[in-house]
Amino acid sequence: VDRREGLSLFGLVPNAKGLDAAVAAGVDGIGVLTAASDTFNERNINATVDESMHRIRSIRLDAPEHLVVRGYISTATHCPYEGEQDPDWVAHLAETLVEWGVHAVFLGETIGRATPAHVERLLDEVLQRVPVEMVGVHFHDTYGQGVANTVAALHNGVAMMDTSAGGLGGCPYAPGATGNVATEDVLYLLDGLGIEHGIDILDVARVAQRFCADHNLTYNSAAGRAVLASRDG
């Protein structure tokens, strides 16, 4: 891997074999996986929620001390197979992960159906049990709610969030789900709110658009398209 100053590399680790591969690759941190829904979890990582939680505990105990460990809870608001999820159950999973020593818990809105009201209900429960500085969010933008949900998270004090340049991504076990909320859209939001981030939105948009063109993918950032049109037009 071409290491650059200031760049941190993370890898998703579903099991012990994945941990060995991540350590061999020299990553700085790992993401360990569970879900709120048994059905999704079994299709995604071939384990029930309980089984995946036991895997996570073993991975956390075996992980080298220098690795940052993030816990991810998929289908935190909605499951494509089981429907809307119980925020109290998600909060219990998040609290347990923190007790087991993860450095942060990311709440995954896997299929993009949540609105800010769902996010508020979820965070109302989670933030009663987990310090806000240890909570992150992972929003997909299937229904165009990614930026609105990001605002809801920010208003609740959440400062960590996953985004995807050009809105790329998706999930093979969440039919119809699109990628994460676009990095460019979130950067434009943060600029408007006066929140410093140190990232050049134009650079992100140019790289993402070029990647999409090279790989025959759709470029999905509204803010990115507008910035490119105004500065490169």
Residues tagged active-site: 171
User: Helices 87-99 and 49-62 sit at what angle, rounded to 10 degrees?
Assistant: 20
d(CA 47, CA 59): 15
Vertex 160, ends 84 and 54: CA angle to 5°? Answer: 60
Kindly state the tokens that stand for 143: 């229904």
- Residue listed under structure tokens 């070029």: 210
CA-closest candidate to residue 60, choices 107, 89, 99? 99
- Residues 80 and 40 sit within 8 Å (Cβ to Cβ): yes
d(CA 60, CA 227): 42
Kindly report the backbone phi and psi dihedral angles of residue 142, in degrees, each rounded to the nearest multiple of 5, phi listed first: -55, -45
